[in-house]
Chain A
Amino acid sequence: MTSVLHGNRLIQRSHNWISGFQERLKLFLFPSASDSWLAVLRIGLGFQLMLYCLSLRKDWIQLFGANGTGLINRELIEAVVKLDSSFLPTLGWLVTLGNKIGLSEQTVLWGTWASLLCASGFLLLGVLCRCSAVVAWFLYVCAVNSGNLLAYGVDNFTIIGLFYLMLAPFPDRYALDRKFWRSPIRDRRLHGFFRRVLQLHLSVIYFFGGLTKCLGAGWWTGENMWRALTHAPFNILPQHLIISWRAVLPILGIAILVLETGYPVFIWLKKTRLVWLIAIVCMHIAIGLTMGLYLFALIMIILNLAAFGPGLLRPEKTRTELAVAELEQANSLRP
């Protein structure tokens, strides 16, 4: 009898623990969050894409042209990419489609460039957000696949950002869509979930990036800092200047290891979040300025600010405050 009672108590206790864990997990994955993160991501990615288009304007045909017009024949790159999966979207799809309606390859390529630029402008303003995000993501993926041999980190992170943006619960309160269509702001828990996924993804990125760096001797001795700064074409700073700073290089190298590996811990702690975010943003600004990787720096800053920025300096509004604000806004929109 006693053992039965004891067994029942154990079952009850484990049941309580499981339901408590489920509740905590639910709270962790679906926290109540405002739509500010989405506004940061949307505007940031719009700006990023605009810079991407404008910076590659002169080389667009050289990068993606086929049959003698490009630096590397696009068709060759696409053939190599298709070995991985024939489902991967490429600019070749659009060119084939364009050819069927009588458009030349160059027209399609310039059309793609213009569409990407338009989508970026729409994202910046918040017009037709979902449609613009899907178009931007699709065209960007096509461009990356068709220029795969020339793609680098910035493309990966831009695709990550655009993928989340495409699925995000639009619109945010700063989007023009909200004003035009009077669309309601989606559930705060849904916003919380999307933001949480982005936060977790960034934590994984930095942790593994940092850990892999920790396993290389050069980051502890400053040698990799030296190599990164003197490696062509990232050698923006004059070599004599870097030589004069050589004593600081190991410190900078170790600081990067600490920042990246410690990211999944210190960015989550309320007390250290602001300091860590500022330090990470400063690190990316430094990468941009000293190595000329401006677009890479920008995309990392955007992702960080979207994931951990909102509510950091000024606490996000409570549910009641937001509900009142929504009501006031709805009243002001009423004719």
Chain B
Amino acid sequence: MLWAVANDYTLLPRSVDRWADKAEDITHAALGEKLPTSNLLRQIVAAYLQVAGIDKGYGYFAPGVPNSYKLVFELRYADGRVEYELPSLSGKAAGVRMVTLLDHIAQTQYDPLREVILKMLAYSVWQEHPDAVTIRAVFGQIEEPTAAQALQGQSESYQFLYAYDFSFARQPANSAKP
């Protein structure tokens, strides 16, 4: 909650943000998060919080419902053919988890990590389409219409965020693995 207030995602006036920021700092310090990452106490506290399931806040869909993201793979073949694929898992339960993955990709500040994750996803798609010469991963944000806009017939729009090109050699397969 403090994070949402400190980052001005709430209805509260901006003057409160500063206090929330300080309170968040105190909470982080109390949980040892200001200590060096190698610090034993910090590691023990972090491990305890995680194994007890209390390491994350409880503000699901709060203060607002986050944006959704979309990842599309553009598969280009040697004969000029182009196909489009979405990253998918077989089961519905696992499919719901893809939302979290896409959120993580969007929130990753470290570009090389984002690229590695997308490369792995592209590789899993390439395994099903080994004839594809290149795979372009296009990541974007879905802008859903409001209820009023939907009433006027407006549908969702797609805002481009990132694109990466990958190519995987067929032989030897090991060298191409991400």
Contacts and interface: CB of A to CB of B under 8 A. Distances in A.
A208 B9 CA distance: 15
A208 B10 contact: no
Contacts of A57: 91
A221 B30 CA distance: 36
Interface residues of A, number: 72
A211 B113 CA distance: 34
A324 interface: no
A233 B1 contact: no
Interface in B77-114: 87, 89-101, 104, 113
Interface in A202-236: 204-206, 208-209, 211-213, 215-219, 222-224, 226-228, 230-233
Interface residues of B, number: 63
Interface stretch (A81-89, A121-129, A187-195): A81-89
B96 A212 contact: no
A189 B31 CA distance: 31
Contact of B147 (A145, A249, A292): A249
Interface string B14-40: 000000000000000000000001000
Contact of A209 (B51, B62, B97): B62
Interface in B31-66: 37, 42-44, 46-47, 50-65
Given A159-B53, A293-B96, A295-B93, A72 B117 contact: yes
B51 A228 contact: no
A56 interface: yes
B131 interface: no
Nearest to B93: A55
In this complex, which of A211, A232, A293 has the most chain B Cβ atoms within 10 angstroms of its Cβ? Answer: A232
Contact of A212 (B63, B87, B92, B116): B63
Interface in A278-333: 292-295
Interface stretch (A19-27, A60-68, A92-100, A173-181): A60-68
Interface in B146-177: 146-147, 150-151, 173, 177
Nearest to B178: A73
Contacts of B150: 230, 239, 243
Contacts of B54: 160
B60 A72 contact: no
Nearest to A227: B65
A214 B85 CA distance: 39
A163 interface: yes
A246 interface: yes
Interface string B112-133: 0100110011011001000000
A211 to B, nearest CB: 6
A226 B151 CA distance: 12
Contact of A211 (B1, B53, B90, B121): B1
A156 B176 CA distance: 35
B72 interface: no
Contacts of B101: 72, 149-150
Given A62-B124, A208-B58, A215-B63, A152 B94 contact: no
Contacts of A68: 123, 127, 173, 177-178
Given A71-B121, A216-B11, A216-B64, A150 B100 contact: yes
Given A73-B178, A160-B54, A224 B147 contact: no
A76 interface: yes
B68 A88 contact: no
Contacts of A103: none
B59 A208 contact: yes
B50 A152 contact: no
A137 B177 CA distance: 33
Contact of A145 (B37, B50, B94): B50
Contacts of B9: 216
A141 B117 contact: no
22 contacts: A56-B91, A63-B94, A68-B127, A71-B121, A88-B50, A137-B51, A151-B97, A159-B52, A160-B52, A212-B10, A212-B57, A215-B10, A215-B63, A217-B11, A218-B65, A223-B146, A226-B146, A227-B65, A231-B68, A233-B96, A239-B150, A292-B92
Given A58-B94, A76-B120, A217-B11, 18 more contacts: A55-B93, A58-B91, A71-B121, A72-B101, A73-B178, A150-B101, A151-B97, A151-B100, A156-B56, A204-B58, A208-B58, A212-B1, A215-B1, A227-B65, A233-B96, A239-B150, A243-B147, A294-B93
The 10 closest A-B pairs by CB, nearest first: A216-B63, A159-B53, A55-B93, A215-B10, A160-B53, A212-B62, A87-B47, A212-B59, A227-B65, A59-B94
